[in-house]
């Protein structure tokens, strides 16, 4: 694991060379393929060193991080075009990738906390430095205070575990380690991850951060940073199974009801970016519900949907940004009739929208089927909210697609434009893994 990390650190000096944009860009893809070849046995930790190691969850999420970071640089061509501190921008992306790599591969709970919080800093700088509107400062503050406030109890919980068990080595953490575990400890360990997911009721930082962030910020937020919460829960629940059986129904209830309410909010959105951002709250609600049932289908489905949502949501943010760069607005009132304005993009809108509502043959379908299975097996009553969630998920995605592509063209526009080949490649690289991974779904469903 250390070799890939040193490879990543070795890319950082390239930032200081002038004209290094494409060099860094290509090195991301190179590292992605190098890392892909390191894959080992799905159900064991492998590549284990003093404090780094990898199992199938880490492997999937690190691979996703590398891929999304490469695509972020590809999508942020305007930073290069207008020479808007591109060296610093590349450094932020690299630093963020380094933090994510360490978060997903570390074996120590305290180091996990350290890197988990460290990934916040470059994200904040991306929003504050390259965001669009003046409200980005407020969005940055929301992001900072929501996540920091929630994760301080996690630090206390980590120290408590160390005091009780004498070790923070993740594979050694067993539920017998802290038999005196109180419900307060349960809340402390879990709450930081619930905010990061984000669970409904503590989700307000997410739409704000998304709307104000540049396209790269949105992509990494939707693609990877929301998955930190799910990853943390998967790691911590080894300790909390007993307490989880007792209290998890609260979070499942909030997630499912919240998912339905957020879907209603989506149906009233006029901002393209806000619509995609709220839809990811609804999807992560489903992931959280599946995780909290603590059964096999739920945990595997949560992992699958995390990967799928990372690719799909990121792709939709790219599409929104492509429209925004042409029209100077993200409002659905102006972004309508795009079928006339950008006919070649309509296919990608369709493909990624259908992935967003879990149409076959996308990985989202696989994840949602197993999550539905797990939540219904957990309680029959949940079928009501799940039915609403599935229906409205399709409804707001269709609303997004049909409202933006059909209808009369905004009269201020007078031309038809095509996309750049860079943009088609960008969308292709989001869509292809999303549809190819379902053909080999054993790693995401048979890894426990």
Closest to 269 in 3D by CA, of 358, 399, 132, 143: 399
- Residues 59/39, Cβ–Cβ less than 8 Å: yes
Nearest to 374, CA basis, from 360, 386, 363, 364? 386
Give the residues across from 108 on adjacent strands. Answer: 169
- pLDDT confidence of residue 112: 96
Q: Token pair of 66, please?
A: 């590398």
Residues of the chain with pLDDT under 70: 175-181
Q: Name every residue whose Cβ is closer than 8 Å to that of residue 442 and which is 6 or more positions away in sequence.
A: 42
Residue 91 token pair: 């450094």
**Best CA proximity match to 243, nearest among 164, 186, 315:** 186
- Exposed, middle or buried by CB within 10 Å (0-12, 13-18, 19+), for 419? middle
Long-range pairs, 27-35, Cβ under 8 A, ≥24: 28/66, 28/69, 28/70, 28/73, 28/97, 29/70, 31/4, 31/7, 31/66, 32/63, 32/66, 32/67, 32/70, 34/4, 34/7, 35/4, 35/62, 35/63, 35/66
Number of structural domains (the chain) is 1
**pLDDT at position 182, please?**
82
Angle at which helices 205-212 and 272-292 cross, to 10°: 140
According to the model, what pLDDT value does residue 243 have?
A: 86
- Domain range holding 102? 1-445
Distance between first and last Cα of the chain: 22
Burial of 445 (0-12, 13-18, 19+ CB in 10 A): middle
The span from the CA of 365 to the CA of 17, in Å, is 44
Report the C-alpha gap between 424 and 435 in whole angstroms: 16
Give the pair of three-digit tokens for residue 319: 């599409």
Residue 389 corresponds to which tokens in the numbers above? 């969630």
Residue 329 neighbours by CB distance under 10 Å: 15
Dist CA 53 CA 38 (whole Å): 12
Cα–Cα dist 89/91, whole Å: 5
Residue 172 CB-half CA count within 13 A: 11
Report pLDDT for 175: 65
Predicted pLDDT of residue 177:
55
Q: What is d(CA 209, CA 129) in angstroms, rounded to the nearest whole number?
A: 13
* Per-residue pLDDT reduced to its tens digit, 358-400: 999 999 999 999 999 999 999 999 999 999 999 999 999 999 9
CB count within 10 Å of CB 9 equals: 12
Locus of tokens 């080595």:
169
What is the C-alpha radius of gyration for the chain, rounded to an integer number of angstroms? 21
The pLDDT of residue 142: 94
Supply the DSSP string of 174-237, one letter for each residue.
Answer: -TTTTTT--HHHHHHHHHHHHHHTTPTTS-THHHHHHHHS-HHHHHHIIIIIHHHHHHHHHHHT
In the prediction, which pLDDT does 181 show?
66
């Amino acid at each position: 694991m250390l070799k890939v990390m040193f490879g990543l650190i070795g890319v950082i000096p390239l930032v200081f060379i002038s004209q290094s944009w494409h060099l860094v860009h290509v090195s991301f893809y190179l590292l992605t393929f190098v890392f892909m070849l390191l894959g080992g046995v799905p159900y064991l930790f492998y590549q284990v060193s003093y404090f780094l190691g990898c199992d199938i969850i880490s492997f999937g999420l690190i691979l996703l991080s590398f891929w999304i970071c490469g695509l972020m640089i590809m999508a942020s061509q305007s930073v290069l075009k207008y020479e808007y501190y591109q060296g610093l921008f590349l450094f932020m992306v690299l630093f963020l990738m380094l933090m994510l790599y360490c978060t997903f591969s570390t074996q120590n709970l305290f180091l996990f906390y350290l890197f988990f919080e460290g990934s916040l800093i470059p994200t904040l700088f991306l929003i504050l430095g390259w965001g669009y509107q003046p409200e980005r400062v407020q969005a940055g503050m929301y992001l900072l205070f929501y996540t920091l406030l929630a994760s301080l109890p996690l630090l206390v919980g980590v120290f408590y575990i160390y005091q009780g068990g004498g070790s923070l080595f993740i594979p050694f953490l067993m539920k017998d380690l802290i038999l005196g575990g109180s419900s307060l400890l349960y809340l402390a360990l879990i709450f930081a991850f619930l905010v990061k997911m984000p669970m409904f009721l503590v989700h307000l930082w997410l739409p704000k951060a998304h709307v104000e962030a540049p396209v790269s910020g949105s992509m990494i937020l939707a693609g990877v940073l929301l998955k930190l919460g799910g990853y943390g829960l998967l790691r911590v629940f080894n300790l909390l199974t007993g307490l989880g059986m007792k209290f998890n129904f609260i979070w499942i209830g909030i997630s499912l009801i919240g998912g339905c309410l957020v879907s209603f909010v989506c149906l009233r959105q006029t901002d393209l970016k806000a619509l995609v951002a709220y839809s990811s709250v609804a999807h992560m609600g489903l992931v959280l519900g599946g995780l909290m049932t603590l059964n096999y289908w739920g945990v595997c489905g949560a992992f699958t949907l995390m990967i799928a949502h990372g690719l799909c949501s990121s792709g939709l943010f790219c599409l929104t940004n492509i429209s925004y760069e042409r029209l100077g607005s993200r409002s659905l009132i102006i972004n309508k009739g795009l079928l006339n304005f950008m006919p070649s993009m309509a296919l990608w809108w369709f493909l990624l929208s259908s992935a967003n509502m879990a149409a076959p043959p996308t990985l989202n379908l696989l994840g949602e089927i197993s999550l539905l299975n797990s939540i219904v097996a957990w309680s029959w009553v949940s079928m009501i909210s799940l039915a609403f969630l599935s229906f409205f998920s399709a409804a707001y995605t269709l609303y997004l697609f049909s409202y933006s592509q059909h209808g009369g063209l905004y009269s201020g526009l007078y031309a038809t434009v095509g996309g750049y080949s860079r943009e088609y490649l960008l969308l292709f690289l989001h869509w292809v893994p999303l549809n190819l991974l379902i053909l080999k779904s054993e790693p995401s469903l048979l890894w426990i």
